[in-house]
Structure 1
């Protein structure tokens, strides 16, 4: 057993993951918990505290904590820092950052590139290794998040309510598919009240709406024109933001992706077409990116052998 280790945490809106890694890259421990985004998870602090208290089998030398909603420039993030430091103590060197930053580090193995992340929310993160990291989008569901799972779900439901208002026959088929996916009545005389009640009873409406993106993707794969149209619009937003990042940096960095929206073949193909190039396959997940940054923070040598060992350990996650 090693006498020191590093910790990496990837805290998103849906799930929080943590791994402890040895100096040779071996994964010593891993844990999963619920979401820890303080913007929409009332119990985020308890979730994060319990996870951190449970994860450390050996003394930690350094930790990288990537959390949704974190920014060192925002006063609201000080509470996130306090929660982490209260648990890990003063002897651990800690780097706090956003979850998308470690996702970009992982995707490009700490090299330059642009990550398009689209899950419940959406954000573009660009790193050229010469300037401070660049964020495009990531404004949250009230101000933006175009191309995200939430945006896709809202677009699908928008078509449903448009049909319920107008009763135009062209919208009936798609509305029926979405209503069935929600286990709601298809009859327009009953569907409206049922849909309003569905909204009322959701514990986390944003996540429930974002979950519809999977159904839209499935329908697109089956050739549904309305679903394809929604996903191609989502892809247009994401591709445009990647292009914005390139323009601001003045260089055509490679792009990669992360998040459930990019499980859609329609989205991947449309973004690829719009950018004129295929994405780089992500080399590691966000938790891998956090581990790389924590290892460097600890002063460890992060070479090919270390990364291979880490990849093997994370493949079981």
Structure 2
């Protein structure tokens, strides 16, 4: 069995996709793989493991195809190779509690073992903290994410960290794409009952999910077609309705913005950053694509702490994961 040595394996696994990147000593990417969501809270441990395996295996095969690994024969498959990785960093969604850490670390170790990947130093952390590091370059800042889910992370000048929100689609994720989509479904049902205001959301949502009647929407929510990702896909329809002056849709987006601001404010207060200058990074489809939500968050934050510099995320979260691994590798060199 051939042995191939790789300095760094970086994995960014969120609620939408999983990205695995191999990096060499010159900090160049030598392999990349991509798969679907690997958030075990949303799809289960077994399915999350499959997605992790798919992304990492693809990255390993990509490294072989690029001919960057001269010790690997063109006729040897990934299964016939033992991979020696000096440092592996996993930034994974769903790592929110001590129990989550136990589950995810066990899952990661099993995934690596199944791929014949031996890791000398393993780092597993929440994907949000990795994204924060990538967005701020390690400087004080707050990252607010509103994509499929939502959360706010922060780090101050003392390198203390804090978070708010991100408690999952069942009991949290306020202001996220899923939350907005769920509110839209509820609004359609309330309208049909006569318990809520009239809204054009019915005319937008039903065709999108392939339905014709409101009562079918109820059945859809308890069918196999219902998923967190599918509900999050409804978020742009709420924006469309709001742009058509639908008051119900506008209220949903206003509350979404208020909830995201509350998460930012909570992190700011925990880290005593209100009177300090720092970056606030906006990331995720809701904040990047819905002007109403984005502008409301910006307006509320500026009113609360006017010295904050607000920017859209420039670096993808994977760069934060890579930066974490490179920092470890550099520390090992400096320590010799």
Q: State the TM-score, normalizing by the size of structure 2.
A: 0.79
Pick the aligned partner of 1:284 from 315, 318, 327. Answer: 315
The whole-number CA distance in structure 1 between the counterparts of 2:122 and 2:326 is 11
**Does the alignment pair 1:164 with 2:192?**
yes
After superposition, the C-alpha distances for 1:186-235 in whole angstroms (9 at most, x for unaligned) are xxxxx232212322434442222111112112333444333222111101
Q: CA deviation at 1:49?
A: 2.1
Q: CA deviation at 1:290?
A: 0.6
| 1:246 alignment counterpart | 268
**Does the alignment pair 1:35 with 2:40?**
no
**Does the alignment pair 1:273 with 2:304?**
no
| 2:178 alignment counterpart | 150
The whole-number CA distance in structure 1 between the counterparts of 2:235 and 2:121 is 39
Q: CA deviation at 1:126?
A: 0.9
The whole-number CA distance in structure 2 between the counterparts of 1:20 and 1:145 is 31
The whole-number CA distance in structure 2 between the counterparts of 1:81 and 1:23 is 24
Q: Is the 8 A contact 1:221 1:266 kept in 2?
A: no
The whole-number CA distance in structure 2 between the counterparts of 1:85 and 1:183 is 40
The whole-number CA distance in structure 2 between the counterparts of 1:267 and 1:78 is 35
Q: CA deviation at 1:245?
A: 0.8
Greater share of strand: 2
The count of residues paired between Structure 1 and Structure 2 equals: 294
Pick the aligned partner of 1:94 from 98, 103, 122. Answer: 122
Pick the aligned partner of 1:261 from 265, 270, 286. Answer: 286
The whole-number CA distance in structure 2 between the counterparts of 1:183 and 1:76 is 37
Q: Is the 8 A contact 1:62 1:93 kept in 2?
A: yes
Pick the aligned partner of 1:60 from 65, 76, 85. Answer: 85
Structure 1 spans left out of the alignment, 5+ residues: 186-190, 302-317
Q: State the TM-score, normalizing by the size of structure 1.
A: 0.84
The whole-number CA distance in structure 2 between the counterparts of 1:38 and 1:181 is 27
Pick the aligned partner of 2:235 from 213, 216, 221. Answer: 213
| 1:304 alignment counterpart | none
Off by >6 Å, runs of 4+ in structure 1: none
| 1:140 alignment counterpart | 168
* Pairwise CA RMSD: 2.5
Q: Secondary structure at the match of 1:103?
A: helix
